[in-house]
Amino acid sequence: MKKTWWKEAVVYQVYPRSFKDSNGDGIGDLKGVMQKLDYLVELGIDVIWICPMYKSPNIDNGYDISDFQDIMEEMGTMDDFDRLLDGVHKRGMKLILDLVLNHTSDEHPWFIESRSSRDNPKRDWYIWREEPTNWESIFSGPAWTFDETTRQYYLHLYAEKQPDVNWENPELRRALYDMTTWWLDKGVDGFRLDAISHIKKDYSNMPNPKGRGYVPAWEKMTDVEGILGFLKELRDKTFAKYDVMTVGEANGVTTDEIDEWIGEEHGVMDMLFQFETWYLRKPDEPCGVNVDALKGVLTRWQEAAQGISWNALYVENHDRSRIVSTWGDDTVYWRESATAVGFMYFFMQGTPFIYQGQEIGMTNAPFEDLVLYHDVKTLNFYRYKKAEGIEHEAIMQMIKMNSRDHSRTPMQWQGEGYGGFSTSKPWLDLNPNYTWLNVEAQRQNPLSVFNLYKQMIALRKNKEVLVYGAYKLFKTWYACVYAYTREDKKEKVLVLSNLKDELCAWSPPEGAVLLLCNYGAEDPYSLRPYEARVYQLEK
């Protein structure tokens, strides 16, 4: 197993629109991120992943890009970005960006040219058809939109204003590679590749939807045969020439393909975010997680990667509702379940990713009214479910549990004003629990979610076995307990997380030494509800 800086790193994801507002307009910005760099140093972060700050009309909060080489006005300027990059590097950290290669905004100059006429040189840079297929968009509704100017349909797997680019066109690919290299030459340390498993499509056997409903033909949009050729070319023309980290958002990729996608010898990128854990709870199910199913998914990924590739470890991001409100208990056992989930994933083999606010246990917001939600995916979901005849209350129940807006409420820095995020009303309402659930309050409590995350990070940095050691599932008598060992030639460590509000009888193995416990001190005879521990074991 090769040792690299990105395997040993802890990554923190910043959603800049909601992280810190520096100028009082209610919108987070690059100067706001700069103001909080020392906070990330305090936490122990090595790499910052910043979500899109490129020029954008903001239909999808920056993932609809109108200029890949400019900064969104409300985020600041390119000078602000350069100062941020310099500030990150001076503090010994690295900075990676979101690289959005599947689509652009419909306001991007490329698309403006493409839609201007059927014989425009950039017409084939996007995907046009006389008749649409019956694909459903990932954001609900049809994946094809009719363009009045040229009387054809264009493809968008996401929002209507996010047309997909055509990777079959070599000129388009060269333009994307040139843009990527421009950022690498600027000094960024890598990329998270957005929606990368969707860049190749299969158009076979997809009938015209006239008079029919739309079907979610994900297999036609996801990890289609031939995609690896595109990704190898991307790697060779860009990333391979630099010492950077790459992690792909790779919905649909399975453990059977792990060597081709992220193998150390021939992989097209360094890590990928798998989606299988997303589907362990349906949108209309109550909170909680099937722990046996979770063990099955994560152990399969751990074992498949062992010795040949590297996992990206995560439980939250900007596209998921808050984990403590979905897998845990955000009421009675809020602190305990937030940290139990943290212990569970953080010490596996792979690079841990922390999403902003996760380190203080931020929860889903109690937004009852649809008007409080801003996310285009959420609003489309409501519109199309209503058109299907589903009752308002049933749709709202799913939105209140699963909307992406829950992960995008402003960061809760303090318990006064607008939570320390801004001096004016934020673009998206704060979660009202900011008055007690915030960074300032948790800094004072040694058993807070924040301080336990600090201890988790420090423990991983101080024990190489928790980075490079082999993973093995550890069987207990209890379905609700996720336990595993990490072992190398020198050390062996046991990690246990009780992921339910159940009391479980437990006696530590003989000679075990407690390294960390989210209750502070262990009960030698039981694991309490949502209790998590890390032990040093005898070799």
Active centre residues (catalytic): 194, 249
Question: What is the C-alpha separation between 191 and 182, in angstroms, rounded?
Answer: 13
Amino acid at 280: L
Residues 6 or more apart whose Cβ sits within 8 Å of residue 376: 59, 60, 139, 159
Which residues are registered as beta bridge partners of 126? 165
Residues 6 or more apart whose Cβ sits within 8 Å of residue 379: 370, 373
Tell me if residue 431 falls in helix, strand or coil: coil
Contact 273, 248 (CB under 8 A): yes
Q: Rg of the Cα trace of the chain? A: 23
How would you class 15 by CB atoms within 10 Å of its CB: exposed for 0-12, middle for 13-18, buried for 19 or more?
buried
Phi-psi region of 481 (alpha: psi -120 to 50; beta: other; left: phi over 0): beta
Number of residues written out for the chain: 539
Residues 6 or more apart whose Cβ sits within 8 Å of residue 504: 476, 477, 478, 480, 481, 498, 526, 527
Amino acid at 257: E
3-state helix, strand, coil in the chain (%, to 5): 35, 20, 50
DSSP state of 317: -
Q: Which strands, in side-by-side order, build the sheet including 128-129? A: 128-129, 152-155, 144-147
Report the DSSP pairing between strands 54-55 and 144-147: unpaired
Which residues are registered as beta bridge partners of 311? none
Residue owning tokens 């402003």:
410
Structure tokens at 179: 């843009």
Q: Which candidate, 346, 351, 345, places its Cα nearest to that of 454? A: 346
Q: Which candidate, 459, 461, 420, 426, places its Cα nearest to that of 443? A: 420
Contact 378, 405 (CB under 8 A): yes
Q: What angle do CA 267, 97, 380 make, to 5 degrees?
A: 100
Amino acid at 255: T
Beta strands in 89-218 (DSSP E): 94-100, 128-129, 144-147, 152-155, 190-194
Question: What is the C-alpha separation between 332 and 534, in angstroms, rounded?
Answer: 23
Structure tokens at 154: 């264009």
